[in-house]
Structure 1
Amino acid sequence: MTPDILDQYRQATCSGLPGRSSRSIRDRARSAILITVAIAIGTVGWSGYVLALPAAMLFPMLWALAPSRGIAAFVSLGYFLAASRGLPQGVANFYAADLWPGLLLWLIASASFLIVHAALWTRRAGKAPVGRYLVASVLMALPPFGITGWAQPITAAGVLFPGWGWWGLAATAAGLAMMTSRFWPAAILVMLSLWLWSAAVWTEPKLPEGWKGVDLKLGETLGRDASLERQRVLIATVLRSVGEGISTIVLPESALGLWTPTVERLWRDELQDRDLTVIAGATVLDGHGYDNVLVAISAAKAEILYRERMPVPGSMWQPWRILTGEPGGARAHLFANPVFEIGARRVAPLICYEQLIVWPVLQSMLHSPDIIVAAGNGWWTSGTSIVAIQQASTVAWAKLFGVLLVSAVNRQAEGE
């Protein structure tokens, strides 16, 4: 080599290539850290402990710090898969199958979260990430993306701002937006302060006076055993649960099975001479499909109070049947009947899956309810934290809006 060429080679070797290599290593390490932390906060924030929900508020910071759109997609995917990690096992339990169908559904369900956040990520600093994250949050809170809009960090509003209602929701949204700006260290400090204060003074939502939720452990037979003997067992359970001053009992989703005139008559006869109302889940069939409902039964009358707005996609709600002309599947009533009334009380109903997503509860809160009734049938979630996450979410919403909470859930039978 000539001296000039040798000098140029040394200059490139000593100052150019190693620098690029070093930056590449740092970028890879930074990306790996962001993805790892996203998985960790998805796991911790959605562990089923209501006071752990604020951990999820770190997600927008990680999303905004991603060095590329591809890494932002992996950060989003890692967070969402960790938050919804119970789904594969739950699906396997439900269908009595191996994990593969659940794993496939798990990945499909994460697609909307990943697509929205990857599409709206930006390399630009300043106000651009703030506005884009807020748009992503709104998209994931409302249909159609909101249909699988689980693990929304804004659910933590009930922990950070209990009793603040819509102002607390707005403050939490502002905090999440600030996490995507250069002021994220200040946002974390404020969040930690509010989190610690809330944990120090935390109290659970109160039950409404005269109401009681009854949990069951009847496993997959609940709602599937159509015998009158099962109805008599449920009636006996209700009557044993009635204590002094109790006037309203809440049973889990699907507790009554098929809602028929025979079932109605049996319950009303057994409630004669009792000042008691039973709110329970049931299924109403017709020639085109079925409705997942809550009914109210007393000695005087029985009526359907609520038709579920968002049944579980796939296993219950199967919109593709409309295209093929096949009957069957649960109907989604989307924005219908957000509240119902029992006496002088206005009630916000949330059946099972609706407890995991944002828009049903916010729609109900627009009508200023006094009580949230959360009914679920979680026998298929055995070995997962899904029921605990549902309960943590409903507790957080009840605390945010300062409303009373009654819950009733069916779990796996003992010994199964």
Structure 2
Amino acid sequence: MAPTVHTELAGVFSITAGSAWLSGGDSLLGPLCSVGLPLAVMLVRSGKKLDRMVVALGYYLVGCWPIVGAVTGYWGSEHWGIGVVVWLVASMVLSVPWVLASGPVGALMAILITALPPIGVIGWLSPLNAAGVLFPGTTWLGLLLLLGAIPVIYTPGCLRKYGALVLVLGSIGFNLSYREVLPPHSWVGVQTAIRPSNNNILKGIANNQGVIEAGLRAGAGAKVVVFPEAILDNWYPGTQHQLSSAIPRGQIWLVGAESKNSGSDAVMLTGHSHSNPEPVAKAAGLLLGGDWIPWEKDSLRPAWVQSVFIVEGKRVWASLCVEQVQPWTWLEAMAQRPDIILAMSNDWWAHSSTAPGIQMASTRAWARLMDIPLVMAVNLGQSQKSSSDLKAVFDSLRAVRSSVS
């Protein structure tokens, strides 16, 4: 059996692992420390079901805290009470499966239950994120190595001692040999700072023009230009014409839009003088922010299952917003073996929330695991950063990429 400690000490370990998601920003610290959750729970003495849940609860309460900021940022500070309730309920639901973790089989079951639907639709902060940090470029093998480490820790004697050594040395070897795959120069992600129109027609038209200007500026010389998720309020014929008439010849734009025709948060493909009225991809993850209201006929609805689509001969996977923190959608992506990942998000609401950093950290970890290039397109609110700040950041990234290639 694994060594045991008092519940309080295991709880401190768990809380520390959860706090890494907050302090790490969009770095890989949070994904790396997510492996601390099963390790902390396994330290609790056998037979202590409630203690195991409490230890897991400490991890989720800390790591899921940005939910409160996301609710108040999206709906307004007067809705802080709803944010607190959602935070507490999500943390409790994700903690319950860890009562099973009295042995290696139970720990593996807890990881899978919290990563896969139905609970997996809120399965953020999963220990599966650690596979991309510890074993980059290994895809399914990396997941098996991560999950296989649990029985090794539980097994006494030489297997635990030498098995752990092999895993550590293997992780070091994979990281030393790993080189991040960069997207083609002809693929460009557009970073914007546009506030929602809130059904104001004039503001919507102005926003569309802002999207066009950002695309022309950032996409100069590119073949494929990628925009943030839901950057357009609709995909009506007038919006399609406004965009397609401005796109340079030979260019393809992949635009995040709320498609009323398909009732989905979707990715739309458009080019010079023509637009595809149907989405090439729909959001598969749980739509947050009140966009999904099952009992309302006109509500946007998740697709639940997503497929790759082809652009310029490449298999493309679009990860939209909350999908970026949901392991089950990334497992779908791994099974379909895309050539490029599009990380499209719209974080105008995240005035002081760390949620966007968690999204990007999780995305980076899974892209590393799959060894697939990543094109990022993010919309930030004006209150977070000015557009000039964003341009400077991404100009620096492009300069680094050019020097490496």
Distance 1:141 1:392, change over 3 A: same
Contact 1:57 1:176 in 2 (8 A): no
Q: 1:56 is aligned with what amino acid?
A: S
Q: Name the structure 2 match of 1:13.
A: none
Matched, 1:274 2:249: yes
Q: 2:122 is aligned with what amino acid?
A: T
Structure 2: distance between partners of 1:347 and 1:339: 5
User: Which of the residues 43, 68, 73 maps onto 1:65?
Assistant: 43
Q: Name the structure 1 match of 2:390.
A: none
Deviation at 1:237, TM superposition (A): 1.4
Q: Name the structure 1 match of 2:396.
A: none
User: Which of the residues 329, 334, 352 maps onto 2:299?
Assistant: 329
Deviation at 1:264, TM superposition (A): 0.5
Contact 1:141 1:359 in 2 (8 A): yes
Percent identity of paired positions between Structure 1 and Structure 2:
26
Deviation at 1:204, TM superposition (A): 4.4
Contact 1:223 1:255 in 2 (8 A): no
User: Which of the residues 262, 271, 278 maps onto 1:298?
Assistant: 271
User: Which of the residues 212, 229, 234 maps onto 2:188?
Assistant: 212
Q: Name the structure 2 match of 1:236.
A: 213
Q: Name the structure 1 match of 2:136.
A: 162
Contact 2:351 2:383 in 1 (8 A): no
Q: Name the structure 2 match of 1:56.
A: 34
Distance 1:198 1:52, change over 3 A: farther
Structure 2: distance between partners of 1:389 and 1:185: 33
CA deviations over 1:369-398 (Å, ceiling 9, x no partner): 101111001122221221111111111111
Structure 2: distance between partners of 1:84 and 1:390: 12
3-state DSSP class of the match of 2:268?
strand
Distance 1:414 1:89, change over 3 A: closer
Q: 2:187 is aligned with what amino acid?
A: W
Structure 2: distance between partners of 1:333 and 1:242: 29
CA RMSD of aligned residues (A): 2.6
Structure 1: distance between partners of 2:317 and 2:303: 15
3-state DSSP class of the match of 1:227?
helix
Distance 1:371 1:415, change over 3 A: closer
**Structure 1: segments with no counterpart, 5+ residues:** 1-26, 123-128
CA deviations over 1:226-247 (Å, ceiling 9, x no partner): 5323212211111111233x11
User: Which of the residues 215, 223, 234 maps onto 1:247?
Assistant: 223
Aligned residues: 372
Question: What TM-score does the superposition give when structure 1 sets the normalisation length?
Answer: 0.82
Structure 1: distance between partners of 2:166 and 2:198: 46
Deviation at 1:268, TM superposition (A): 1.2
CA deviations over 1:251-270 (Å, ceiling 9, x no partner): 10111211100011111111
| Greater shift in the superposed pair: 381-390 or 290-299 | 381-390
Q: Name the structure 2 match of 1:130.
A: 104
Contact 1:223 1:258 in 2 (8 A): no
Structure 2: distance between partners of 1:236 and 1:222: 21
Structure 2: distance between partners of 1:250 and 1:141: 28
Contact 2:21 2:358 in 1 (8 A): no
Larger radius of gyration: 1
Structure 2: distance between partners of 1:177 and 1:317: 40
3-state DSSP class of the match of 1:394?
helix
Distance 1:276 1:364, change over 3 A: same
